[in-house]
Structure 1
């Protein structure tokens, strides 16, 4: 199977200047046209067809798969599985809308290492991807933390000692039954404190409690 069409000849010739290879699956406003863009040592190759993904990852020795904001969870899972079948250490980066914090949080928990706003420029994306790879850290576009900060209204709530204990374990990802076991209390007691946390943070669910506590410096 031919991975890239003939119009890729020029970027292939310039590949010696690229040390961060990215395969784009889906769309990106920074690449409205064409199959290749290069910036800051990063080369981005658009994968126009799903059947091209695995060969492209292999041929380019891709460092990243970059998922467009329009892809659903199933599309992303398929892309990542296909890419890692041929290159185990390929990393996942994603583009998303500023207000879609649920998608961002879900995928950062599921192994996405870099999450960027869909309107980010090539140069800024290159800096984020190179930093994440060099330092082996997760990178989230600042606009998402700003959006979370905007959602947090009013002063930080006062928490009792036990509410702080529950919050700390909640941040670690424990469920109510597990929290009850750690604190040596009943699950009903944990649910009681959870109701208070939800009310104090004006949160609809556990995830929002953690997010707002983090923004307010309580987690």
Structure 2
């Protein structure tokens, strides 16, 4: 067991103190080297021997298990079960490979609170875990979110600058005449761009254009 230097250790749970205590099981490339936690933002304790996990959870009062990049699903399952036998409410964060979006989706459905790409640096990784703890939200690394979003909605279409302008005004609820006035073009020109937007988003009406553009992060 090795604890990287941070603020003092106590047995209070994270949620009571606002501190962030993490037990790393497995490896995280970002912790090779000095392993200094930025700005004392978290205490990270490495669990080298998994048989010691229960005693480490008890001794540190950790609120998080971070499953390293070398743990397979069975390892993760056994690790979190052992940790929760000591502290029922301990949360799970996982480091995974960017191409394995299926695993990300599977573990987020199983109750994983934070899923990050295994190449993430120390500062961003700690910030993600702290954000989840402070805001009580689930955090998924953007690279996984983008793949899942594309699978759900299809690839984002390429829009011209004028189509983006029309889309933005459409999102604000403007009608064609109002859009034409705002862009200093004719209504026929707006209708031309609208036809292209309907086609590119495979939408039946203006509302679907906005909904699909929003889902793809384009509006």
TM-score range, shorter chain: 0.5 to 0.7
SS in 1 for 2:27: coil
**Contact kept in structure 2, 1:21 and 1:64, CA below 8 Å:** yes
Tell me if 1:141 matches 2:145.
Answer: no
Q: Match of 1:26?
A: 26
Tell me if 1:69 matches 2:69.
Answer: yes
**Contact kept in structure 2, 1:39 and 1:123, CA below 8 Å:** yes
Max Rg structure: 2
Tell me if 1:93 matches 2:87.
Answer: no
- Is there any run of 5+ residues in structure 2 with no aligned partner, and where? 11-17, 158-199, 205-211
Query: In the TM superposition, what is the alpha-carbon distance from 1:38 to its structure 2 partner?
Result: 2.3
Aligned counterparts of 2:150 and 2:22: Cα–Cα separation in 1: 32
Q: Match of 1:129?
A: 129
Aligned counterparts of 2:48 and 2:96: Cα–Cα separation in 1: 19
Query: In the TM superposition, what is the alpha-carbon distance from 1:45 to its structure 2 partner?
Result: 1.2
Aligned counterparts of 1:12 and 1:126: Cα–Cα separation in 2: 13
Tell me the alpha carbon deviations over residues 11-30 of structure 1, each in whole angstroms, 9 at most, x when there is no partner: 387548x9211001111111
**Contact kept in structure 1, 2:150 and 2:216, CA below 8 Å:** no
**Contact kept in structure 2, 1:62 and 1:90, CA below 8 Å:** yes
Q: Match of 2:115?
A: 115
Please tell me the root mean square deviation across aligned C-alpha atoms, in Å: 3.2
Aligned counterparts of 2:8 and 2:58: Cα–Cα separation in 1: 18
Aligned counterparts of 1:82 and 1:63: Cα–Cα separation in 2: 14
SS in 2 for 1:88: coil
**TM (normalized to structure 1)?**
0.62
Query: In the TM superposition, what is the alpha-carbon distance from 1:141 to its structure 2 partner?
Result: 1.0
Aligned in 2, Cα 1:21/1:58: closer, same or farther, shift over 3 Å? Answer: same
Aligned counterparts of 1:51 and 1:83: Cα–Cα separation in 2: 11
Query: In the TM superposition, what is the alpha-carbon distance from 1:130 to its structure 2 partner?
Result: 0.9
**TM (normalized to structure 2)?**
0.62
Q: Which moved more, 1:129-138 or 1:103-112?
A: 129-138
Aligned counterparts of 1:123 and 1:15: Cα–Cα separation in 2: 20
**Contact kept in structure 2, 1:25 and 1:67, CA below 8 Å:** yes
Tell me the alpha carbon deviations over residues 127-175 of structure 1, each in whole angstroms, 9 at most, x when there is no partner: 111111111110011122233456633544458xxxxxxxxxxxxxxxx
Aligned counterparts of 2:69 and 2:201: Cα–Cα separation in 1: 33
Aligned counterparts of 2:22 and 2:90: Cα–Cα separation in 1: 9
Aligned counterparts of 1:87 and 1:108: Cα–Cα separation in 2: 20
Query: In the TM superposition, what is the alpha-carbon distance from 1:71 to its structure 2 partner?
Result: 1.3
- Is there any run of 5+ residues in structure 1 with no aligned partner, and where? 160-211
Q: Match of 2:51?
A: 51
